[in-house]
Structure 1
Amino acid sequence: MSALFQPIELRGLKLPNRILVSPMCQYSAVDGAATDWHFTHINSLALSGAAMFCIEATHVEAIGRITPGCLGLWNDATEAALRPILAAARKYAKAAIAMQLAHAGRKGSSHRPWEGGQLIPLSEGGWQTVAPSAVPQKEGEAAPMALDDAGLARIRDAFVQAARRADRLGIDALELHGAHGYLLHEFLSPIANKRTDRYGGSLENRMRYPLEVFDAVRAAFPDHKPVGFRVSATDWLEGGWDLAQTIELAKQLKKHGVDWIVASSGGVSPLQKIPLGPGYQVPFAKAIREEAGVNTIAVGLITEPKHAEEIVASGSADMVALARGMLYDPRWGWHAAAALGGQVYAPPQYWRSQPSTHKTLFGATTFGGR
């Protein structure tokens, strides 16, 4: 039987397979509020066959957005905008719905990727970014403002309030974004964190704020619902954050009650040199799983069902997450089940699409009609 289509339990959440739709920024919100595009995107991929769909990086305050088009969950308007979208997804799909909570830190106030992706100056409608230290993302950019104790408390509380709003929306699980050069990763990495107080310097100090945020979110979110954490396992830079430090963070997160670690990488500096290739980040998931004893999710150029099956079957990770592959093939889970002998849920309106060679793909054997 396919390892990819074996069930898994994350705290009180029971998933029928090991496939996750990774959170993917859509840059299509208005003042942080979801739009019709999100209705299309979320409802489509909730029917992909994946056991869980994770809503894109959802920012906990307005200045925490990457771009003016990024999704947020910081007030009643942003909460209300998501409610009908999630209601529709619940009505027609059975996938669990997670949400990634995020703060962009010094990578905020940027143009959308298709508009160049560069920092928007204050004079052109941008905003003052914040970070652990007043160190810009790249040379020549305006420096972020180093966070003081009041700023740290404000952002930690913003994560808590977003977690509570997510629970009110019926979100099944949360993932904290501690990767890709955004705020929590900035605290972890010596490349971005030059502080000399209790939040900088030693590994213990650099881990302190991300762990405080995790603890605050974990305490605010119902105990039966899981909370994961996405890491950049390496900065791909000498003197930066690396796998050994990631493993130590994962061990600490396990003590604090984390339910999974997504093993990504990079993002803290444009000087990074990433050796891209199919499954290039899988060894990180494997090492974290083995050394820290936590559930891991492998992500990064995983596109073929047989490759995903191999990752899970070999014990390299407990689940796989797909992003671009799901955009290209929104029924990836269906096709993986057909290739590997698994089953997925599909609404009865789609049962007639079941190929004659895979008559139990959806668990339905008949479709009457005239």
Structure 2
Amino acid sequence: MSSHVSDPLLTPFSIGSVRLRNRVVSTSHEPAYTDNGMPADRYRRYHAEKARGGVGLTMIGGSAIVSRDSPAAFGNIDLSTDDVVPWLRKLTDEVHDLGTKVMIQVTHLGARSSNFTGDWLPLVSASRYREPAHRAFAKEAEDWDIDRIIADYAEAARRVADGGLDGLELQHWGHLMDSFVSPWLNHREDEYGGPLENRLRFPLRLLDAVRAAVPDDFVVGVRMSMDQLREDGLDSDDAIAILQRYIEHGVEFVSITGGRIESDRALAESIPGMGTPSAPFLELCRTVRAAVSIPVLHATRIADVPTARHAVDDGCVDLIGMTRAQIADPYLVEKMAAGEEDDIRPCVGANACLDAIYVSGSAHCIHNPATGREETLPQRIRTLGLARRSRRVVIVGAGPAGLEAARVCAMRGHDVTLLEASDRHGGQVAIAARSERRRDLIGIVDWRLQQVRKNGADVRFNVLADEDTVMELEPDVVIVATGGVPNTEICEGEEHVLDVWDVMTSPVVAGQRVLVYDDNGSYPALDAVERLARGGAEVVYASPERTIAVEVGAMNSPAYLRLMAERGVQSRLTERLIAVEETDDGLRAYLRNEYSDTDTTADVDAVVVDNGTLPNDELYLALRAGSLNGGAVDYDAFVDPLGTLRAQTLTASPHAAEVREPVLAGAGVREGAGSEAAPTLLGTGSSVTETPGAEAPAASHTAAGLVRPGTAPDAAGYELFRIGDATSSRNVHAAILDALRLSLLV
């Protein structure tokens, strides 16, 4: 990686005795990759990949817990036991070897957890309190609780230092520390309540205990809201005064945020996503930085390099957190330093990384399926080198799945032709991006189209591909990524209903009465509701579920719920649409309650249905009989492409030497830098390689073990696969994951 000294993001910086190679940070967050509370292999690989990508500081353990009565609410690291130390040491050693510093966020969650998990101990807060988001009732902390928890913080800090980390960050924001300091949460009448000096007694005792438990050169910081944006909360003057006291007790940096996190709405406003302004708290950072003597770190919605560069260059911050941006692309720093910013996979602010924890159990980027799957999927395609032999690959459909397949196949050296029936790319993502709120989603497909073209694929629009069209191209591999079409086969009288695509692509008639029926529980119905309501329609939302849009998480649902309340959208839950019929005045919808089996009606002008999609599979079915594999996929190979490639390479060249991942020096080394070709890497520390472009041994099968067993290695014909919604109605992440897995093995 080249060094651009003039770029403020790439200049070194020190926090206390810790020297960082640049100003870019991955701030503390919890992706729920722990194994029984331990930061084991999956956790380590995730952070090591960012270190390879050049980040200066990676902070692990969003809300790593210190006490038994602070049970993990979302896969938190458990610092309450010495068992964590070897795992911390293993992670830290690897990340340090790659040139990156490591810190951890430490906390007692207070009321921000559940009474009914872990050891089922009662939660504590400064005063009796029920946090709306986690819905647990916490007791007022007693003297013995306070003494015990402070001792737990000190022990956790000792374990972190023993684990070799460079520092820790105390999570103040919305957790136990905050509950003592914030007047709207602290109603105590003892020496820990009342005036500020009393309310500071607990956090100052805690700080003193932590500092005493760690070496002098170990960095201690704090993450706190510097303006709670609440009349009875702390404003910036209050917060700065509190921070000054913390500095006197050994705090060496502050990670600034704004607002609060006690409810879904508050959290969504403090960690804003798509459809919101960029970098909303930079001026607050500037105010704090001018008032304090310690480094200022900030991370809220800094999604792109120009914004990050401005934040540092204009004096708002000393260090800039690009956390979600590096979930989207952990090699952001390397690409920036190499002058390849157009190759950076953009963060589109979908907040799937956060909401996925509660939907699927761990964090996932909406359009980087390798994040969190570093053992089985590569973050950098080029490190794999070229495929064993170039094949003629025909891909049908330029939605997210087809574009990803074309990108990866082209980068692997295949001859790729991408056919799209319409005059533009994007598929369902392009339709979703018509929503004012979700317009940034277009970055998912725009970036891929640019990468597809940059890597030499032949993209052809306005081609309605049939069997003859595909066969004329004499393919070795056909990948059908034709997506799906809205499924309105949901009730009697389905011929009278519209689908959400109709709403998103047509003008809205003001004053119309519209029933939006959601039997999918995801974003499309809410996008239709928003578009209709903003256009002046009278909207009723109905669903058989017991909650609105059950698959839309807490980060994104508040914006829709606010719009529905402001625009008077009615909700009819636990009701299933069973029939629609025409009347003299429009349409009559019949709905049946899921629990009482009673029927009701709604007289409207239009009924809009979201029931997912039906596979657009005519081409796939037409090609299946003539294919070598009949469309079959070997799932063992499919779910572990890197393992499959390693096995192939060992089979082809059993005496091949292992190679290691490159160690980044300074800001890092760039793939392919210098006169020699970059090594081919098939996995962290255990990879076998062949030189890109070199003649490789013949493959023992045609597509990495994906074809039907018994197929001859050199059989004439084509293999056939389908991905994304052409298989079944799922989501963007699933479609891109399909495409990446398959394309690595073609």
Given that residues 63 and 108 in structure 1 are in contact (C-alpha distance below 8 angstroms), is that contact kept between their aligned partners in structure 2? no
Partner of 2:8: 3
Given that residues 227 and 235 in structure 2 are in contact (C-alpha distance below 8 angstroms), is that contact kept between their aligned partners in structure 1? yes
Match for 1:15 among 16, 20, 27?
20
Number of positions where the alignment pairs a residue of Structure 1 with one of Structure 2:
344
SS across alignment from 1:309: helix
Find out whether 1:366 has 2:361 as its counterpart.
Answer: no
Deviations 1:204-226 (A, max 9, x none): 22222112212211222111122
Match for 1:192 among 164, 185, 191?
185
Find out whether 1:65 has 2:58 as its counterpart.
Answer: no
User: What is the TM-score with the length of structure 2 in the denominator?
Assistant: 0.43
319 and 253 in structure 1: CA distance in 2 versus 1, 3 angstrom threshold: same
- How much has 1:176 moved relative to structure 2? 0.8
Match for 1:35 among 34, 40, 52?
40
Q: What is the rounded CA distance, in whole Å, between the counterparts of 1:361 and 1:73 in structure 2? A: 31
- How much has 1:291 moved relative to structure 2? 1.5
Bigger Cα displacement from structure 2, 42-51 vs 168-177: 42-51
Q: Report the RMSD for the aligned CA atoms in angstroms.
A: 2.9
Partner of 1:230: 223
- How much has 1:23 moved relative to structure 2? 0.9
Given that residues 248 and 292 in structure 1 are in contact (C-alpha distance below 8 angstroms), is that contact kept between their aligned partners in structure 2? no
296 and 225 in structure 1: CA distance in 2 versus 1, 3 angstrom threshold: same
361 and 53 in structure 1: CA distance in 2 versus 1, 3 angstrom threshold: closer
- How much has 1:327 moved relative to structure 2? 0.6
Deviations 1:104-148 (A, max 9, x none): 110022xxxxxxxxxx647x9854211111111129944202111
Q: What is the rounded CA distance, in whole Å, between the counterparts of 1:4 and 1:323 in structure 2? A: 15
Deviations 1:162-207 (A, max 9, x none): 111111111011111111x111111121222111222222222222
- How much has 1:87 moved relative to structure 2? 3.3
88 and 274 in structure 1: CA distance in 2 versus 1, 3 angstrom threshold: closer
Partner of 2:82: 76
125 and 162 in structure 1: CA distance in 2 versus 1, 3 angstrom threshold: closer
Given that residues 98 and 171 in structure 1 are in contact (C-alpha distance below 8 angstroms), is that contact kept between their aligned partners in structure 2? yes
- Aligned letter for 1:160? A
Partner of 1:263: 256
SS across alignment from 1:160: helix
Given that residues 58 and 99 in structure 1 are in contact (C-alpha distance below 8 angstroms), is that contact kept between their aligned partners in structure 2? yes
- How much has 1:328 moved relative to structure 2? 0.9
Given that residues 68 and 119 in structure 2 are in contact (C-alpha distance below 8 angstroms), is that contact kept between their aligned partners in structure 1? no
Partner of 1:355: none
- Aligned letter for 1:71? I
SS across alignment from 2:69: helix
214 and 336 in structure 1: CA distance in 2 versus 1, 3 angstrom threshold: farther
Please show how residues 79-158 of structure 1 align to structure 2 within 5 Å.
79-91=85-97, 93-109=98-114, 121=116, 126-138=120-132, 141-158=135-152
SS across alignment from 2:78: coil
Partner of 1:246: 239
Partner of 1:322: 322
- Aligned letter for 2:25? L
- Aligned letter for 1:69? G
Partner of 1:113: none
Please show how residues 293-308 of structure 1 align to structure 2 within 5 Å.
293-308=293-308
Bigger Cα displacement from structure 2, 234-243 vs 6-15: 234-243
259 and 36 in structure 1: CA distance in 2 versus 1, 3 angstrom threshold: same
Find out whether 1:164 has 2:158 as its counterpart.
Answer: yes
Please show how residues 266-285 of structure 1 align to structure 2 within 5 Å.
266-270=259-263, 272=266, 274=269, 276=272, 277-285=277-285
Structure 2 unpaired stretches of 5+? 1-5, 342-381, 386-665, 678-690, 692-746
Larger radius of gyration: 2
User: What is the TM-score with the length of structure 1 in the denominator?
Assistant: 0.84
Deviations 1:312-345 (A, max 9, x none): 111111111122111111112123323499xxxx
Deviations 1:59-95 (A, max 9, x none): 112322341622111112222333333333334x110
Q: What is the rounded CA distance, in whole Å, between the counterparts of 1:230 and 1:292 in structure 2? A: 14
Q: What is the rounded CA distance, in whole Å, between the counterparts of 2:288 and 2:133 in structure 1? A: 33
Given that residues 157 and 210 in structure 2 are in contact (C-alpha distance below 8 angstroms), is that contact kept between their aligned partners in structure 1? yes
- Aligned letter for 2:9? L
Given that residues 306 and 340 in structure 1 are in contact (C-alpha distance below 8 angstroms), is that contact kept between their aligned partners in structure 2? no
- How much has 1:234 moved relative to structure 2? 2.3
Given that residues 111 and 131 in structure 2 are in contact (C-alpha distance below 8 angstroms), is that contact kept between their aligned partners in structure 1? yes
Q: What is the rounded CA distance, in whole Å, between the counterparts of 1:280 and 1:235 in structure 2? A: 14
Q: What is the rounded CA distance, in whole Å, between the counterparts of 1:336 and 1:205 in structure 2? A: 48
Partner of 2:211: 218
Partner of 1:44: 49
- Aligned letter for 1:321? G
Partner of 2:543: none
- Aligned letter for 1:307? T
Q: What is the rounded CA distance, in whole Å, between the counterparts of 1:87 and 1:103 in structure 2? A: 26
Partner of 2:697: none
